[in-house]
Structure formats: C-alpha cells, structure tokens
Structure 1
Amino acid sequence: MTQLQLDGSKIQHHVKELNAWRRGDTVYPLLVEISPTNICNHGCLFCAYDYMDGRSSEAALDRSNSAFIGAERLMKVISELHEVGTKSLFYSGEGEPLLHKRLPEIIAFAGNLGLDQALNTNGSALTGDVIEQILPHMSWVRFSVNGVNEADYAFNHRTSPSQFKLVIDNIKAAAEFKGRHGLPVTLGIQCVHMGQEPEEIFELAQRFKELGGGYFSLKQFNEHPANPYQQKTTPVREDFYQLLELNDSSFQAHVRMPFGDAEPKRPYKSCLALPFFAEIVADGQVFACGPHLGEAAFSYGNIYDDDFRTLWSAGNRAKVENHVQGIDDLDHVCMPNCRLNEVNKFLWNLAHPPEHVNFI
C-alpha cells in the first residue's frame, strides 16, 4: 500500500499555521487553486462550471466570455503567495488548464520558487513537449477519465471518441517520462462513476496501473440542485471492492467517500477553513471556495486591482467570513462533501474541544 492519502485532511501537519489561527493572527492560504482559463475542449455531463453561471448543461462548450489569466500578472501573484507562506498551488478550476499556452512557463517559475504544485487535467493537451516542461516541477498530476471505452468516454465527456485513445497515449507517455528521469511526481486517474459496471471500472483501473500510474480514484458524482444532470441510481460501495485487489506498494486503488453512503449532516456549524484556502479564477477574481464562484459575497477582489496582501486584508476577509458565518444551514447552501469539509471537521473539533482532552 502506498503512503497516499486521498480522503480526509492534512491540515493537522501545519502546526505553525494552526497555532497562528488559534491566536487570531492573520493566516494566509496554504493552498491556492488557480484556473488558468475558463475554456475547455471537453464538456463533461456533470461539470459544475456549466450550471454555476446559469448556462444549461446543453451549452457545455459555450464559453462565450473566454478568459485566460495574464501570465505576467499571475507570476507576480505567485511570488506574493510565496512571500506570505503559501505552500502549494493547484491548477484546475473552470476550464482545461493546459489550454493556457503559457502554463508550462508559469509552472516552471513557481517550481523554481520551491512551491509544491499539482494539476488536474483531462490529459488531451499533455503532449511530449508539455510533459517535459511541467513534470519535473509537479508533486502530482491527476487525469480526469470518466469513461471506460471510446463510446462511454465520448458520451460522458461530450467529445470525440478518438480523444479516449489520445488521452491514454498521453498518460502512457507521461508515465514513461517519469520513469526515465526518476521523477517523484505521482500520476493518478480520477473517475467519476457514471453508471458503468464494476467490472468495467476494474478493467480501466487495471489498465492504468499497467501504464505506470500511481493511483486510481473512483468518485461518486456529487449532485447539486442547480445541475440538471442527476444519476438514476445510487451506486453501492461494496460493488467496487474488487478494485482493492490492485493495491500494492506502488499503486493504490481507492473508492472515495461518501460513495454510496448516506451523506450525514455536517458536524460543524460554520465554515472555519476559509483562512487556509483561496481560489483564483481566469478573470483574476479571488474567491473563498469553488462551489460559490461568481458570488460577490464570497469574493476578496481581483488580482488586477490589488496585490495579494491587500486582497487578504482584514476588511476583505471580514466581509467574506461575516457572510459565511451568517449562513444558518450550511447543508442547505453548500454542496455535500465540499473541498473544505474535512478541514472544517478538524478545525471545529480544535476550536470546540471535548471534555477531558488530556486523556488522549
């Protein structure tokens, strides 16, 4: 079994920042997610970014207000983040990150500063030159592969069937480059379950392992009231336990929570994790979290107007945090199992300790 942790939170490993947070000091984000562009060459059925701005799922490829974050400005912001103590950058978000032609340059710049970096990609643009430029600077790369064959992939990604082979070939090339150069980067696949049979999912995971991948993560589709795509049946976790047979010292197959489980109500009453995370989108706006992109109440401002220290000022943070603290029912307003959910569980317990804490 590998040392990868694909569920839960790692916030407990940042004691210095946790102590600062408990004292009420200013804490800057440990992790910043960046959307280099809002353009995508695929149109996944479940994509959140097609319903969050009011578009119907039928207009998945309608990116009428296309945006590419300015490379020079972003590199300046990355320098600012490095100065305030941010530790990691995650390129993901609204579109396909690798459609930003200068992203390899940006990644190399951040890598030379010593920042940990990760990429979520559909893999279609991860060609040979791009592989060589970015892989030496990455902690991990996660490929979104939501189909088990050409037809299934084309339907779920709403793209050409030929894209399936292209992506598989690119993943193979990335794994071979990693092996040749002894790179520590972790290559993984995340597959959102879209009704495929367990045997088909197992064969996809096995194929990825044979290519040289490091992990395969099966994720349940997260329903959202605004998303017109809804699954007909709820999958059962036990149906996919065969995946665990693939686990060994170099590969991990994982069925992510809350797969098939009843989603419990949040055990915390407010979102405490906001100081540790931020998301920069393609037009330069900085938001508190992904599910509320585009909502002014969750915005700290725009990187084209201010430097990051100013955006993270007490006044800006208070505006956002006061709004969030005023939400009576997070389960009603926020999507289940959001990115900050596990961090919030830890922070809530830390801020509201049980009795007899010395009896560890």
Structure 2
Amino acid sequence: MVKNKYSDLKFLGFPDTLKALIDRKTVAPVHIRIKPTNICNHDCWYCAYHASGVQLGSDMTYRDVIPFKKLDEIATDIIDMRVAAVTFSGGGEPLLYKKLPEIIEKLCKGGVKVATLTNGMNLKGKMAEAFQKYGTWVRISLDGYDDDSYAKARGIKYGEFTKLLTNISNFKSVKSDCVLGCSFIVGKDNYKEIYNISKKLKESGIDHVKISGVVVGNTSNDNNEYHDKLKDEVLSQIEMAYELEDKNFSIINHYHDLGDRFDKEYDICPFILYRPVIGADLGVYTCQDKAYTESGKLGDLKDIGFKDFWKSENAREKIYSINPSKICNHHCINHSRNEIIYDFLQIDQNHLPFT
C-alpha cells in the first residue's frame, strides 16, 4: 500500500498541539515555512505574490532577504523549540539563497526535517547535494510542458525547460531518500498537456506529479468560472495520466480541491499552530495565503528571536484573535484541515471517551 504524503489528517500525529488549541495556549509550531528571499529568477504570470487579482503578497518588498546571521539564529531557535519540520518556499525562489545548504545541514543535524518548494532551476551543485543528503522532499512548481510554453509562462529565455529536466534527471541519478515531486499548475494554456508533461516528468525520474488548478482571484466565483471551461478536459487528461502510475511514480489529483473553499465559518485558525510562516521581511505570518499582508501578520523578528516571540503573551493573543470568518474570505490552503480540527474543538471533552 502506497503511503499518503498529502493527507489532511497529519495533524492527528501531534496531540500536544490539539491540547494547546483546546486550552487556548501556544506550543512550538509543528512545521514552519521560511521564505529566505523575495528575489526570484522567474516571473510567472499566475504567481500569487505578483498577480494583481490576488490579495496574497500585497505588502511584499521584492528585494527583501533574511540576513544569514538572522536565519542562522532562527534555525537555532527552531532546533531548541523542537519544531518538527521546515519548508523553504517563496516569496521569491528559495534556492537562490546561497548559504541555504549550511542552514539545511544545521537543521537536519538538529533533528528537523527539511523540504523546499522551488522552480528547480538552481537544484544543482551544492544546493542539490544538500537536499540529496539532508532533505525529506523537494517539490518543483511547473506550468510549461516544453521550452516554448515554459518561457512564455515565466518570462524567461528559451531552453530553460530542457535545463530543468536535466536538473531533475541529475538529482534522481544520485541515490537519496529525498522525494522529488512536481506540482503541475493547470490553466488555460496547458490543460490539454497534463498527460504529456506527466509522461516527460516520469521519464526524467520524478517520483510524483501533483496536479492543481491555478488560483486567479480571491473569490470562489472567480476561480470556478475560470476552471468551468477547462475541467472536463482536465479530468480526462488526469485519467490518462493515472495509466502512467507504477511502484516508482504516482499522480496526485488536487484539481478537484478548488471547490467552494472561500467562506469560513470558524472564528479561530487552528492551523497557525501547525504551520506559520516567517517571511523574508522577518515578519511572522499566519500562513502562506496571508503572507506579506497586514491582516495575516502576527509580529516581526527584527528585534526579537523567534523562540522569544512565539512564547510571548503578545503572540498568543494575536494568534487567537485571528478570525477567519471575518478576514479570510479568500483562497485558503488550510481550510479543509481547519474544518476538521474546529469540529474536534467543539467536542465536550468530558464526553470524549464515549467513542
């Protein structure tokens, strides 16, 4: 049986966090997303941090970079707090942060699992070696299916798609426990190419392809209207892609997850305790969907360490003051998880044993 790497039920493995939510306390985050830099070598048309129709990243400064000394301090705090995992993501392109391999090694040797979301263009040399040796997973975001489409979608020169496939093949040529996946972002320019790109990626050695729909706006209507014209062909393409599966390669269908995920009916965000975000501006944010927005900002680390900030009463009050029913009526990656956790929090604990 293939183990599910993307389950919404992972939170069940961390009962101390559930207990903290019941008691309205804080504990060390299970998982932290760190955006080491906002600088990027691609200009994707749909990037949530750049797209004008999406609220994400509205206050982002594109040249922000976490100073190495500060990132090293954050890594020390993360280890001391026994945070379980760190994912490096954007903002910008995390693998452009030159000293990232040093931080990866430090975290891993300190007992923290490490992963990254990347465009994959710098997944080579010492950066690739660091993830091959210390990484749990790497997931490459992709939209193009050949050199022309890739260059058009990302505002880059012709030939970069071929280089990306070479990076993938080279990464997989070295024996490693690090899982290499791809997130294929489906839109109107590539929805007929899902099978073909899945086949190319499998031939390059990638472990799985996760298929997701592009987010084009803040409302469910915006996104559903966009995808209604595509979905029949998309689902047909995904069915064909399933035929490529074997013991070394899988297709993960998250396209159906777009749905009506925008209105919220809960008044706290449980998942803040599971996966907050540290931005390249040293802001601490509720999640990746509210990174670089004032409404999602919990505080900043310019004059305080992460450990001291997180255990402060100010942080606790801010965490439990976030009301998704009022300020999160937009795309939310954590919505399905939050609904499950919130239902659990409504249980009368005196009656919990009567299963």
TM over 0.5: yes
Superposed, 1:147-226 pairs within 5 Å as 147-177=144-174, 179=175, 183-196=176-189, 200-225=193-218
Q: Give, in whole Å, the separation in 2 of the partners of 1:260 and 1:53.
A: 17
Q: Give, in whole Å, the separation in 1 of the partners of 2:164 and 2:264.
A: 37
Q: Give, in whole Å, the separation in 2 of the partners of 1:354 and 1:159.
A: 55
- 2:49 counterpart residue number: 49
Change beyond 3 A, Cα 1:268–1:301: closer
Superposed, 1:68-79 pairs within 5 Å as 68-79=65-76
- 1:242 counterpart residue number: 240
Change beyond 3 A, Cα 1:165–1:113: same
Following superposition, the deviation at residue 30 of structure 1 comes to: 0.7
Q: Give, in whole Å, the separation in 2 of the partners of 1:65 and 1:267.
A: 34
Following superposition, the deviation at residue 242 of structure 1 comes to: 1.5
Change beyond 3 A, Cα 1:52–1:299: farther
Superposed, 1:262-341 pairs within 5 Å as 263=261, 265-266=263-264, 268-312=266-310, 313-322=312-321, 324-325=322-323, 328-329=325-326, 333-336=328-331, 338-341=332-335
Q: Helix, strand or coil: the match of 2:196?
A: helix
Q: Helix, strand or coil: the match of 1:204?
A: helix
Q: Give, in whole Å, the separation in 2 of the partners of 1:54 and 1:346.
A: 26
Is the contact between residue 100 and residue 127 of structure 2 (CA under 8 Å) also seen in structure 1?
no
Q: How many residues align?
A: 343
Of residues 99, 102, 117, the one that matches 1:120 is 117
Residues 163-172 or 201-210, more deviating: 201-210
Is the contact between residue 9 and residue 342 of structure 1 (CA under 8 Å) also seen in structure 2?
no
Change beyond 3 A, Cα 1:13–1:129: same
- 2:91 counterpart residue number: 94
Q: Helix, strand or coil: the match of 2:270?
A: coil
Q: Give, in whole Å, the separation in 2 of the partners of 1:70 and 1:316.
A: 23
Q: Give, in whole Å, the separation in 1 of the partners of 2:61 and 2:304.
A: 26
Is the contact between residue 277 and residue 286 of structure 2 (CA under 8 Å) also seen in structure 1?
yes
Is the contact between residue 29 and residue 83 of structure 2 (CA under 8 Å) also seen in structure 1?
yes
Structure 2 spans left out of the alignment, 5+ residues: none
Instruction: Please tell me the residue identity of whatever aligns with 1:2.
Output: V
List per-residue Cα deviations over 1:217-253 (Å, max 9, x = no partner): 1101123249xx9784433253222122222222210
Whether 1:111 and 2:105 are equivalent positions in the alignment is no
Structure 1 spans left out of the alignment, 5+ residues: 58-62
Q: Helix, strand or coil: the match of 1:218?
A: strand
Change beyond 3 A, Cα 1:32–1:310: same
Is the contact between residue 138 and residue 180 of structure 2 (CA under 8 Å) also seen in structure 1?
yes
Instruction: Please tell me the residue identity of whatever aligns with 1:147.
Output: G
Q: Give, in whole Å, the separation in 1 of the partners of 2:190 and 2:26.
A: 49
Residues 235-244 or 74-83, more deviating: 235-244
Residues 262-271 or 117-126, more deviating: 262-271
- 1:348 counterpart residue number: 342
Change beyond 3 A, Cα 1:30–1:98: same
Instruction: Please tell me the residue identity of whatever aligns with 1:318.
Output: E
Change beyond 3 A, Cα 1:294–1:259: closer
Superposed, 1:58-69 pairs within 5 Å as 65-69=62-66
Change beyond 3 A, Cα 1:343–1:64: closer
Q: Give, in whole Å, the separation in 1 of the partners of 2:62 and 2:90.
A: 16
- 1:255 counterpart residue number: 253
Following superposition, the deviation at residue 269 of structure 1 comes to: 4.6
List per-residue Cα deviations over 1:81-119 (Å, max 9, x = no partner): 222221100000200011111111111111111101111
Q: Helix, strand or coil: the match of 1:50?
A: coil
Change beyond 3 A, Cα 1:257–1:329: farther
Q: Give, in whole Å, the separation in 2 of the partners of 1:198 and 1:50.
A: 22
Is the contact between residue 297 and residue 320 of structure 1 (CA under 8 Å) also seen in structure 2?
no
Instruction: Please tell me the residue identity of whatever aligns with 1:163.
Output: E
Whether 1:36 and 2:33 are equivalent positions in the alignment is no
- 2:20 counterpart residue number: 20
List per-residue Cα deviations over 1:260-282 (Å, max 9, x = no partner): 64557546454222222211111
Following superposition, the deviation at residue 141 of structure 1 comes to: 0.2
